[in-house]
Each structure stands twice: as structure tokens, then as C-alpha cells.
Structure 1
Amino acid sequence: MKSHISNALSDFFFEYETPRQVLVRNRRVGVVCRIIQLGVLAYIIGWVFIYEKGYQSADTAVSSVFTKMKGVGYTSINGSERVWDVADYVFPSQGDASFVVMTNYIITEGQEMGTCPELHGKHNCSTNADCEGGSFKRTGHGQMTGVCVENKTCEVLAWCPVEDDHKIPDPPMLMSAENYTLFIKNSVTFPLFGVSRSNLVEDIDAAYISKCLHHPDDAPLCPIFKLGDIVKLSGFDFETIARVGGAIGIVVDWTCNFDVDVTHCKPQYNFHGLYGNAAETDKAKASVGYNFRYAKHYMDNKVQKRTLLKVFGIRFDIIVQSLARKFDIIPTLTAIGSGVGIFGVATVVCDLVLLYLLPKRAFYKNMKFKYTDTHVQHDSELLGLEKSDYCNLEANARQVQGTGQSNDPDSEAGSTETEVSKVRVSYISYKK
């Protein structure tokens, strides 16, 4: 018992098992194998390492955006002149990453709470019975009092006079917005790599900012943008989008490779028109452009009044897109390991071709697999040999068969079993 345990331990620690390999000389299978291997190699080098950069680890940034508008607008309505500054045409005024610049408006001044006729088309009526007192409609301006006034509309309790927004000013009231400028300040931090960057990179200082204006080719790093240029680069027409409003996305792209100096990590600005193009002026569409309302309240002779503005404007959404990469041994080894594993596909495919598709598949199957049949034990006893001696005899016969084969890789002449049978018959004749 002790010797069995000792032998088992000895075999476990001091023996090495290796798979059996068969060298097959077949042109078709060889070509298939090399094509598959080249395809896998191209995938690993071209896609995994070059395109996907599988040898690097990646991180996205934590970002902060600050904006500031500059510019002055001018309007003259019925001889009433007005200058519009940043506090009047930017909503909200805190410098967020998402804001609206007013380009057109409908103003209703001197509104106060009271009763007045509803706007035509909202609550038309013929008699008081058509105006249900105490009710209101979703599209109306107030609560109906139950009275049908002379202009054949229902009287409502609302901010009077009610707003008339049927006619949108054309051309836009603030076409001067085309010359406004937008300053974007953006800071990003990549926590995984401990790197912080700002769009005010090394070459940008106060003197440069004071005179630069962003241009995709001449000044790609300048953080000051002219609104007319933004609209043009987004693919829109300024007058069209200014009349009814729209939305534009400004993408600040931080795609960085920290295998080189961090000073090469610089932002790229891209502009995308979200809605507000010429096709959206089609009257068949349910909602065209972008607008909202806001009111300025004040007291006049102890009466609360307000000035209501329906604002049409361009909504700007500043989106920070980031991806930084740097060499890392762990993803590199992972990519190499997975690639080496994929090389096994060539072996599987070639085995399928050899064993199931080629005309001489039976011969290749006999060469690839070694069967442990009971005839070994039976024949060794018949010949009066030890099992190990019989196996050596059979191996020698296989070697004789191998040297006697022709160079034709697909030849089946002189099979192993035939040679073994010959040796077996010769030995039995000798014994007799």
C-alpha cells in the first residue's frame, strides 16, 4: 500500500503529460489553417491593439462648465427705442452649461388682473350659454365668467389685456444676436490618472483671449465663439432659427493619450444642430422652434401689473465628452491572452475538415486518435509476451509502416494495422 502511494506521488510530481500531435501534410488543410491564423493575427493587431487600443486602460473625466455671454442688442418699435444687454436676453443668468439666448419676442405690456375678452379663436361664442362660467380651457388665458361680449368671445378673468401671439415678428427682433460672443470655460479631471486640464491650455493667456475668436482652422483652441459662427457650423441658417427658436449642441471633446506628454491633451469643439432647421418651419408639424414666457412684475399706483414676454430663442447645450487612455500591463496581457486563445479556432476548424469533410477522413481519424482496445491484452497473452513488450512490438511495426509510406500526403498505402498484423503473423509462425 505504501509503495502504491509513493509511486502515485512520484508520478504526480515528477512526470509531465503533453498532448499528442500529428503532423498532417495536406495542402488544403494547411492553407485553411494559415488563412485563419492570419485573420486572427490581423484582428488582434489591427482591431484590438491599434483601433481599440487594448494595451491601455481608459478613464472618463469629471467636468465643470462655466459660460459668459457678451453683446448688446437694439430694437425700435413704434418709435420706442430699447437696448438689450446680457441681463435681458440670457436665461438663466448664472452661466450654466445649458442656457437660452433670446432672438425674437412678443411683448404684452401693462397687464393687470381683471376681466376682458378672450383672444379670437380661443373661446368664440354666440350667447352667454356658450360660455360656461367658472370653467376654463387648456389653451385659454383665464377662467370664463359666463358672459359673451360684443366681439363674440367669452369674457375671462385673467391678466388683461390678453396676449396676442398669432403673428410672430419677421424678421426677428434681435438679429443683432448674430454678433454676440460666447465664452466657454471648461475644466476636466481624470481621477484614474490624476490629471486635471482646462480648455485654457498653455498657449492661451489673457492677452490672447482679449483678441481671439474661434475658428476651426485658424484658432481652434480659442474659447470665445461668435453666435453666428456657431449657428453656421451647426448647419443652420441664423435668420430662420432666430425667428422661431431652436437648439444647438456644443460638444467639447477631450480625447487624450497620456502615453505622451499631457500638454498634448487639448479640447476639440464640435457643433450639432438639434432642432430649428428650415424643414421645421413646415406648418404641418405639431410644434415648431423653441419658445417660453416670462413676466416682469411691478406696482403702478398700488396696482400690481406685469410685462409679459413670449421669448423665441436659441437654446445652447454644452456637452463635455471625454476619454483618456494610458498604457497598462493588465489589459495588455488580457488582450494577448484572449488573442492566443482565439488561435485555437484554426485547430478546431482544421480538425473538422480533416475528420469530417475530406475523402480520406477515416485515415486521418486513425492517425489522430489512439484507441485502447481489448485486443492488446488478448494478443499479448496469445503470443506469450508481456503487455509492455507487445506494445513495443506494435510501435516498431508502426515505425516500419511510416518509413515505407510514399511521400503523397493523402496516401493510405501500408496502413499501421496491416503492418502490425504482418508482424503478429510472423511472430506466431516463428513460435510454431
Structure 2
Amino acid sequence: MKSQISSALSDFFFEYETPRQVLVRNRRVGVVCRLIQLGVLAYIIGWVFIYEKGYQSSDTAVSSVFSKMKGVGYTNVNGAERVWDVADYVFPPQGDSSFVVMTNYIITEGQKMGTCPELQGKANCTKDADCEGGSFKRTGHGQLTGVCVPANKTCEVLAWCPVENDHNIPDPPLLMSAENYTLFIKNSVTFPLFQVTRSNLVEGIDSSYIRKCLHDPEKAPLCPIFKLGDIVKLSGFNFETIAKEGGAIGIVVDWTCNLDVDIKHCKPKYNFHGLYGNPGETDKARASVGYNFRYAKHYLDGSVQKRTLLKVFGIRIDIIVQSLARKFDIIPTLTAIGSGVGIFGVATVVCDLVLLYLLPKREFYKNMKFKYTDTQAQHDSESLGLDTSVYYTLEANARQAQDTDRSNDPDSEAGSSETEASKK
């Protein structure tokens, strides 16, 4: 018993088994095999390693964006001249990655709390019974008092009076000068996995350069100062069209970096996308055109609280940071190589299918590839008093001798294959 255990352990630790291989000389199968292997090799090298960078690990950045608008606007509405600076036309003023630049507006000055007639179309009436006191209209400006104003044929409301009339949007936009405003973007990114930090103020972008540069996709692609008119143009919009009713534009700061090369080559690229505000939009998008909102400035006139209400039409700017950094890593490299080696087995599977099921001599190839055993062979070996392995060795030698004899016969399978090979 002890010797059997020792023998089993010895066989397990000190022996190696390798699968049996059959060399098949067949041009068609050989060509199919090499073509498949060549295709797999092209996939591994071309797609996995070159295109997908399968030898690198990747990381996305933690990002921070700071923005600053500069420029002065001028309007003259009914003889009332006004100059607009950054504090007036940028919302919110904190320099966030998403903000609105006002390009058009409707102003209602001197509003105070009281009662006044509603606008036409909001709460029409012919008698007081048409105005339900204490109720509200969803699109109205205040609470109905239950009184119908005959001169206007609208219900009286308790609201900030006079109520805003936004039916007529100024055309052309009042702040066409916004086209010359400039936007400064400061962006920093950190790739935690690789412990790399970069800023869009890369090498060569210093204070003297910033003071005189203006972004241009061809001449100054790294300049972080953008003219608002150029942003609108690069996004595919017309400035006057989008300035009238507003819209939204996305500025994408793209950090796609290969950290296997010098870090100075890790630089941002700026892309511009029109999100909405295109007059060519149809279907459901036409139900709500442009971008607008309201804000009010409150003040006291004597002891009376009043406000100035503005309906702002503007261009919403969304600064979006898109990042992907890659660097060589042995783990994904070995994984890609291992998966590629595994895919090479596809050639073997396909060629076996062709050999065993499609070629005319498939039965011959099956006999060469597979070794069959049965109980009769085991009984024969036992009756002769031989070990099973010895019996199979003798049987294999006999079959080899038989195959040699058949190879000399031109009518046999082996002979015909050899004859074909010699002809080729």
C-alpha cells in the first residue's frame, strides 16, 4: 500500500503529459489555418494593441473649472441709454462651469404690489362671474379678485403691477454687442491612478501670452480665451438667431493623454457643440424655443417696495471636461497576450471541422486523429498475459507496418495521399 502511494505521488509530481498531435499534409487545410491565424494576429496587433491600447491601463480625471467673462454692452431703448457690464449680464456671477450670458431682454420697471388687469389671453372675461375670486391661472400673473375690467375685457388680479407683457421679443437682439465678449477658461485635471496633475495653462501659456491671445482652432488652439461670437460660430449657430431667444452651447475640454511619452504632450483640445437653440429644430423641440428666465431687482421708493423685472434671453454655456489617460501596465499587457493566444485556438477548431466532416477522406483523418479502445482489446491482452500498455504498443507497431504496406498500394487511402503529395 505504501509503495502504491509513493508511486502515485511520484507520477503526479515528476511526470508531464502532452496531447497527441497529427501532422496533416493538406494544402487547403493548411491555407485555411494560416489565414485564420493571420487574421487573429492582425486583430491582436491592429485592434487590441494599436487601436484599443490593450497594453495600457487607463484612468479618468478629477477636474475643476473656473470661468470669467469680460466685455461691456450698450443699449439704447426708447432714448434710454444704458451700459451693461459683467455684473449685469452673467448669471450666476461665481464663475462656474455652467452660466448664462444675457443677449436680449424684456424689462418691466416700477412694479409694485397691487391690483391691475391681466394681459389679454391670460384671463379673458365679459362679466364678473367669469372671474372666480381667489383662484389662479397657471399662466397668469397673480390671484384673481373676482372683478372683470370692461376696458380690457380681462380679469383683475392681485399681483406686481403693471404686469409683464412679453408677447413681443425685441428683434434684433438688444445686446448684439455680446458677440465681442470674451470668455476665459481655467481648467485643472488630476489623474489619481498615475498621480499626474495638468492645467490647460500648459507650457508656453504665460500671463504675457494670455493678454494678447485669442483662441483659434488653427492658429492658437491652446489659447484659453474665447470670443463669444467665435464660440457660437464654431458650434454651428448664427449669433443673431440664437441671441434673440437664447440657446445652449457645450464647450468640451478634451484631455486624452498618452503618459508613456513626455508629460508636456498631454494638452487639452477644445470642441464646441450646439445643444439647443437651432431654428431648424422641429417636432417637439419647437414647443419651447430658446432659453430664458426672469429675475427681479427690488428697491424702496419712499416707503413703497418696488421692483424692476427682467425676462432674460441668453446663451447658456456648459463647460464639460472629458478625460482619459493611458499608461503602460504589465497586467493588461499579459491579459491581452493571453487572450490572443487563446483566440489562436479558433484555427485548430475550424481546421478540425474541415478535416473530420467536409473533406472526402474524412474517415481516414478520423482514424489518424483518434485512437479507439474497446473491451475486446482488453480481453485479448489479458488472455496473452500482457500488460495493457504493452499490448497497445504491439498493436500500434502492427498498424504502422500495415500502413507502410498500404502506402505502396496506389489504390489505398495512404498511397493515394502520398501520390498526390508527390505530384504536387
The interval holding the TM-score normalised by the smaller chain is over 0.9
CA contact (8 A) 1:363 1:412 kept: yes
Tell me, in whole angstroms, the C-alpha distance in 1 between the residues paired with 2:412 and 2:190.
Answer: 68
Which segment drifts farther, 51-60 or 350-359? Answer: 350-359
CA contact (8 A) 1:401 1:414 kept: no
Gap change, CA 1:133 and 1:161, over 3 Å in 2: same
3-state DSSP of counterpart to 1:278: coil
How many angstroms does 1:211 deviate by? Answer: 0.3
CA contact (8 A) 1:108 1:307 kept: yes
What is the 5 A alignment of 1:90-239? 90-150=90-150, 151-239=152-240
**Residues 1:292 and 2:293 are matched in the alignment:** yes
How many angstroms does 1:359 deviate by? Answer: 2.7
What is the 5 A alignment of 1:39-54? 39-54=39-54
Tell me, in whole angstroms, the C-alpha distance in 1 between the residues paired with 2:54 and 2:387.
Answer: 57
CA contact (8 A) 1:97 1:317 kept: yes
Gap change, CA 1:8 and 1:386, over 3 Å in 2: closer
Unmatched segments (≥5 aa) in structure 1: 416-432
What is the 5 A alignment of 1:26-425? 26-150=26-150, 151-280=152-281, 285-380=286-381, 387-404=388-405, 406=407, 412-413=413-414
How many angstroms does 1:281 deviate by? Answer: 8.6
Q: How many residues align?
A: 415
How many angstroms does 1:390 deviate by? Answer: 3.2
Tell me, in whole angstroms, the C-alpha distance in 2 between the residues paired with 1:298 and 1:290.
Answer: 27
Tell me, in whole angstroms, the C-alpha distance in 2 between the residues paired with 1:199 and 1:112.
Answer: 48
Gap change, CA 1:364 and 1:173, over 3 Å in 2: same
Counterpart amino acid of residue 65 in structure 2:
V
Match of 1:21 in 2: 21
CA contact (8 A) 2:247 2:291 kept: yes
Match of 2:420 in 1: none
Tell me, in whole angstroms, the C-alpha distance in 1 between the residues paired with 2:211 and 2:237.
Answer: 28
Gap change, CA 1:364 and 1:107, over 3 Å in 2: same
Counterpart amino acid of residue 116 in structure 1:
C
Counterpart amino acid of residue 121 in structure 2:
G
How many angstroms does 1:404 deviate by? Answer: 4.2
Tell me, in whole angstroms, the C-alpha distance in 2 between the residues paired with 1:389 and 1:201.
Answer: 78
Superposed CA deviations along residues 240-277 of structure 1, whole A, max 9, x for unmatched, are: 00000000000000000110110110100000000111
CA contact (8 A) 2:109 2:307 kept: yes
Tell me, in whole angstroms, the C-alpha distance in 2 between the residues paired with 1:117 and 1:281.
Answer: 35
Superposed CA deviations along residues 281-338 of structure 1, whole A, max 9, x for unmatched, are: 9999211000000000000011000000000000000000000001011110010001
Tell me, in whole angstroms, the C-alpha distance in 1 between the residues paired with 2:282 and 2:357.
Answer: 66
3-state DSSP of counterpart to 1:285: helix
How many angstroms does 1:345 deviate by? Answer: 1.3
CA contact (8 A) 2:48 2:336 kept: yes
CA contact (8 A) 2:407 2:415 kept: no
3-state DSSP of counterpart to 2:157: strand
CA contact (8 A) 2:408 2:415 kept: no
Counterpart amino acid of residue 238 in structure 1:
F
Superposed CA deviations along residues 98-122 of structure 1, whole A, max 9, x for unmatched, are: 0000000000000000000000010
| Identity across matched positions, percent | 86
Unmatched segments (≥5 aa) in structure 2: 417-424
Counterpart amino acid of residue 292 in structure 1:
F
Tell me, in whole angstroms, the C-alpha distance in 2 between the residues paired with 1:136 and 1:8.
Answer: 93
Tell me, in whole angstroms, the C-alpha distance in 2 between the residues paired with 1:24 and 1:16.
Answer: 25
Match of 2:5 in 1: 5
Counterpart amino acid of residue 142 in structure 2:
G
3-state DSSP of counterpart to 1:44: helix
TM-score (norm 1): 0.92
Tell me, in whole angstroms, the C-alpha distance in 1 between the residues paired with 2:284 and 2:164.
Answer: 21
How many angstroms does 1:377 deviate by? Answer: 2.6
